[in-house]
Structure 1
Amino acid sequence: MSDLEPKPEETLCESSGRPGPRAEFFPAREVPLGGVRGVTVHRTLPQRDLPTVGAWCFLDNFGSGSPTLPEGNDIDPHPHIGLQTVTWPLNGRIRHRDSIGSDVEIEPGQLNLMTSGRGIAHSEYRVPGHISGAGLQLWIALPDASRFIAPHFEQHRELPIFALPGLEGIVLIGTLGGVTSPATAYTPIVGADLQVLAGSSVALPLNPEFEHALLVIEGELVADGVTTGPGQLLYLGSDRKTLPLSSFQGAHLLLVGGEPFGEDLVMWWNFVARSHEEIEAARNDWENHDIERFADIAGHTPDQRIPAPPLPGLHLKPRKRRCGVPHD
């Protein structure tokens, strides 16, 4: 899943320092995706006042298709630069193909991690015969030192377990409570799928250098005295060594965090860059079918490539958003 809005904004995200502990809600917005067949997602990152959490710069919860519509969640070939895509299915099976030759299927409990570097193209299709896929798609902005590396792909079918009395979890990337994922990270970061068991209260250890946020997928959760449920991101800020969690009936959630991203970003469509000119060059390479940067994907024809939307002109200044520090 990707940012396939038909008229995406170009957004400048300014770097920021640690904001201190907070508890602020950011509701999801429904986004119908252009260039695909009937897919609507619930997007909680980026937000006007919270475009990033650490290096996390994009978070979609998808899964509105129907088993009777086998192509309901298919995403045709499209490009990326300057980021890593994290695909975490909650049900169904997803087939990933990309321009460096990867062709794999993924199911719940397995992680696809694609590092675009200077440029990659990929597609994601639901596997016929399985229920319509639901899951989470996230992006991680690559730091300047790594954003032009060669694209690569990795799949992790076994990920480390993090557990406490009353809590069970899987560490997708980075480190949580001394448990480290094998997934490649280029910036200090954490992402974890957590289950708080019914009737449990637990103190979740956090890295105080990180800012964190959580998204409840199912159930109701009390986090440091704040009650939250599905449909909104709870931003927690930084400087927390532990996070008290409890749930009466049980809750399933995603935790994301990382060091506040210390670089300005320009985000547009499926591209994370540092300037309008870089965005424009990547768009031109995609539209001109530059196979040196965005090679063809085996099994797809050129007419399946999703065309890039119009790019705002140079006379349009990107709207500045303070990365990681919401307005009071």
Structure 2
Amino acid sequence: MSNVETAPDQVVCRSGSLPDAQCDQRGRAPVEIITARDVPLGGPRAMTVHRTLPQRQRSLIGPWCFVDHYGPDDVSASGGMDVAPHPHTGLQTVSWLFEGAIQHIDSGGNAGLVLPGEVNLMTAGRGICHSEVSTTETTTLHGVQLWLALPESSRHQSEREFEHFAPEVVPFDGGEFLVFLGQLWGQSSPVRTHSPLLGAEIRLQPGASIDLPVSPDFEHGILVDAGEVAVENVPIPRAGIGYTGIGLSEIRIANLGETPARVVLLGGEPFAEEIVMWWNFVGRSHEEIAEYRQEWQDGSDMFGVVDGYVGRGGPGRNAEGLSRLPAPTLPDVRIRARTNPPPQVQGGPDPDSARR
């Protein structure tokens, strides 16, 4: 998915601390609550997404650097998803749907449907472009779009990778889970990633809870899609993330309500490298971002070409008549640093005291 904001945030992520993180210490372990902001995607009938990462409070969870949650969205009212070809650098896009279907085409020659319960992971490396359009049969669109920052060792690769995987639904007492990236509770995904991480969907029946075994070396965030969810006994708002940091060997997730609950668990080893994010690019400096933007505007071979895109405006055009998304204007100042706190709950105890 593209970030189609006309004035996107300018973000440098690096170690540091922030004084204003939201922290709740009433639970078994302290939990940092990351609330979402609404961002419209597109024109007058824009589909609204709920964005939790990046923001001032926290910019990364492991290598996860971008988290959008959307829906359930009535396509007849919003127009659905129609994102013309757009570029990416230095990241992997992770598409995970709950309802609906999206046609994906990229400049690596890959085309296919994104369907509920099936992960699609695209690796940009040095440069890629792709289009995303909800299918005509889709009446409700509901899911998450996620980005992973690539480490220095692979962010310049020329290969434009694409992987698809439909994980097994694994039951447990009171619910079920699916592991789409990494490993969790004896289940693993074969999809290749470039740093240690985890992505899973967890479903809980009304009143159910689970003490989920996790790696204490990972920081974790639990994104709430549906239900009255508590993490470590701390209630988390819908579309928000409950962040637990490193040090926990298990995380309690509970459904306090009378309807089914669903969450997306994101985790990973703290990402040690400083990154710069702007629009659809992840780089390491203002100069790199400016170069990427100019390459895209010039139509260079760096990103390749999407063949076969059909948008709401007909073959090769989106609803606004665009054949490709133009890059926004760069700010007239250098991208300013924005710190990412250490991998522990801000305002909470030392992480070693929370280990179990």
- TM-score w.r.t. the length of structure 1 is 0.92
**What SS does structure 2 have at the residue aligned with 1:212?**
strand
For residues 239-262 of structure 1, the C-alpha deviation after alignment (integer angstroms, 9 at most, x for no partner) is 000112222433110110100100
Aligned structure 1 segments of 4 or more residues deviating by more than 4 angstroms: 34-37, 323-327
The correspondence of residues 301-316 of structure 1 with structure 2, limited to 5 A, is: 301=316, 303-313=322-332, 315-316=333-334
Would you say the 8 A contact 1:211–1:236 is kept in 2? yes
Match of 2:339 in 1: 321
CA contact (8 A) 1:219 1:229 kept: no
Q: What is the Cα deviation at residue 71 of structure 1?
A: 4.1
- Provide the C-alpha distance between the structure 2 equivalents of 1:66 and 1:161, rounded to a whole number of angstroms: 27
Partner residue in 2 for 1:122: 130
Partner SS state of residue 4, structure 1: coil
Taking the TM superposition and a 5 Å limit, the aligned residue runs for 1:1-328 are 1-15=1-15, 22-34=30-42, 38-63=46-71, 65-68=73-76, 71-149=79-157, 150-156=159-165, 158-248=166-256, 249=258, 250-290=260-300, 292-300=301-309, 301=316, 303-313=322-332, 315-323=333-341, 325=343, 327-328=346-347
Q: Give the whole-Å Cα distance in 1 for the aligned partners of 2:31 and 2:218.
A: 15
Secondary structure of the corresponding residue to residue 280 of structure 1: helix
Q: In the aligned structure 2, how far is the partner of 1:162 from the partner of 1:16?
A: 38
C-alpha separation in 1, matches of 2:108 and 2:43: 22
TM-score by length of 2: 0.85
Structure 2 residues not aligned, in runs of 5+: 18-28, 310-315, 348-356
Separation in structure 1 between the aligned mates of residue 95 and residue 134 of structure 2, nearest angstrom: 13
Q: What's the C-alpha RMSD, in Å, of the aligned pairs?
A: 2.1
**Aligned amino acid, residue 2 of structure 1:** S
Counterpart-to-counterpart distance in 2, 1:27 and 1:175: 26
Q: Is the 8 A contact 1:63 1:73 kept in 2?
A: no
Q: Secondary structure at the match of 1:245?
A: strand
Shift in CA distance, 132/251, structure 1 to aligned 2, threshold 3 Å:
closer
Q: What's the CA shift for 1:294? A: 1.4
Where structure 1 has 5 or more consecutive residues not aligned to the other structure, the ranges are: none
Could you say if the C-alpha distance between residues 210 and 36 of structure 1 is closer, same or farther in structure 2, counting changes exceeding 3 Å? farther
Deviation of the 1:14 alpha carbon: 0.3
Q: How many residues in Structure 1 have an aligned counterpart in Structure 2?
A: 322
* Structure 1 residue 231 displacement after superposition: 2.7
Distance 2:342 2:146 in 1: 16
Distance in 2, matches of 1:16 and 1:321, equals 5
2:162 is paired with a residue whose SS is strand
Describe the shift of the 1:116–1:247 C-alpha distance in structure 2 as closer, same or farther (beyond 3 A): same
1:63 partner SS: strand
User: C-alpha distance in 2, partners of 1:16/1:238?
Assistant: 16
Per-residue deviation, residues 209-233 of structure 1 (Å, max 9, x unmatched): 0000101111012221212231311
Which deviates the most, 168-177 or 296-305?
Answer: 296-305
